[in-house]
Homo-oligomer: A and B are copies of this chain.
Amino acid sequence: MKYWTLTEADIDRIAIGCGILGTGGGGSTYHGLLRAKALLREGKRIRMVRPADMAPDAQILGIGGIGAPTVGIEKIPEGSEGVRLLSALERHMGRKVDALLGDEIGGGNGIAPMLTAAMVDLPVVDADGMGRAFPEVQMTTFFIHGQAVQPAALADADGNVLVVTDATTPKMLEKLLRASTIAMGCTALMTTAPMSGDFVRRFGVPHTTSQAWSLGDAVLSARAAKADPVEAILKQSGGVRLMRGKVTDIGRRVMAGFTRGKLTVAGLDADAGRTLTVEIQNEYLIAREGEKIITMVPDLICIVDSETGRAIGTEELRYGLRIDVLSMPAPVLLRSEIALASVGPRAFGYDFDFVPMGVSADAPAVPQYEEDA
């Protein structure tokens, strides 16, 4: 098996990249960064493995945080939640797992599986189920393509653990895990049913840890060269800048276990006079200029500090912050019809269909096959 064994310098890059891919959510990367480095210094190892290198019948478990990022930034993990999860689930299944992965590469959840993996010495698969962050459990390419709904498990910092042994739908699983997370104080660590190596290879968003690393490396290289880190992000990601501006208003509240809100950005420099609004449910979902929607979920809306290129999570937004609002195309696995039913605008309660970024709403959203004339 070929492994990519992470160094502290890799963790720095991955944390920056996960922040950017977090589209405002997925939890802060800061605690995960410190904890991953501490584990490396204790002599633990974090080994990444490519999805194509996993045995087809390998058992892979997704691990990540669930809750409201605004709470998670203050109520930090105890540290061994993942070990308790793994132990509860392995006991329930009566078998061991072979590798971990993150269901969500965005934010702290891009690092979360590495922490548990280091503690139990399992490899981490370089793939995830979102290619970004989403607020709900069922919004992964895995559930979209038929991942088993059970078993799933939830653990908190105090030692509470529960196993969902049967759930009728992924959405019901989300409801059950969310309700318990709220009872646990709005943050917890969760895991969903193990997946085979073959399944992850077919339905995972591949190499997203590598992608995060590349984004982080671009930012650090630009900083070192006194170049513009935001330009470096755009060049590396194929994204576009929607606006450079200043936060003039942020409404944010924790409700039903989520952070919800709305951000207003006034343009600066070349964008002076323009106003952009961004709607939030844990993540940045919809960017509008006046009535016009510029970018919509599942395409990525990423907000970074204009000076440093560091991602700004929804919980960090405050009046006066100088930011760049960027947009990146969603992975193809998220743009299919079946995926859009779970992660398109309608899945978030909006009354319109997905239109990819850069495409006029009047143009068809997907190629149209027509009768031969």
Contact = CB atoms under 8 A, between A and B. Distances in A.
Q: How many copies of this chain are found per oligomer?
A: 2
A162 interface: yes
A191 B165 CA distance: 14
A166 interface: yes
A179 interface: yes
A164 interface: yes
A191 to B, nearest CB: 13
A9 to B, nearest CB: 37
A175 interface: yes
B160 A162 contact: no
A347 interface: no
Given A162-B165, A176-B180, A180-B180, 16 more contacts: A88-B165, A88-B166, A91-B92, A92-B163, A153-B165, A160-B164, A160-B166, A160-B172, A160-B176, A161-B164, A161-B165, A162-B162, A162-B164, A162-B166, A176-B184, A179-B182
A37 interface: no
A372 interface: no
Interface in A250-288: none
Contact of A160 (B158, B159, B161, B168): B168
A84 interface: yes
Contacts of A167: 160
A55 interface: no
Interface in A141-189: 153, 155, 158-168, 172, 175-176, 178-180, 182-184
Given A175-B183, A179-B179, A183-B179, A163 B160 contact: no
Contacts of A180: 162, 176, 179-180
A165 B161 CA distance: 5
Contacts of A161: 164-166
Contacts of A184: 176
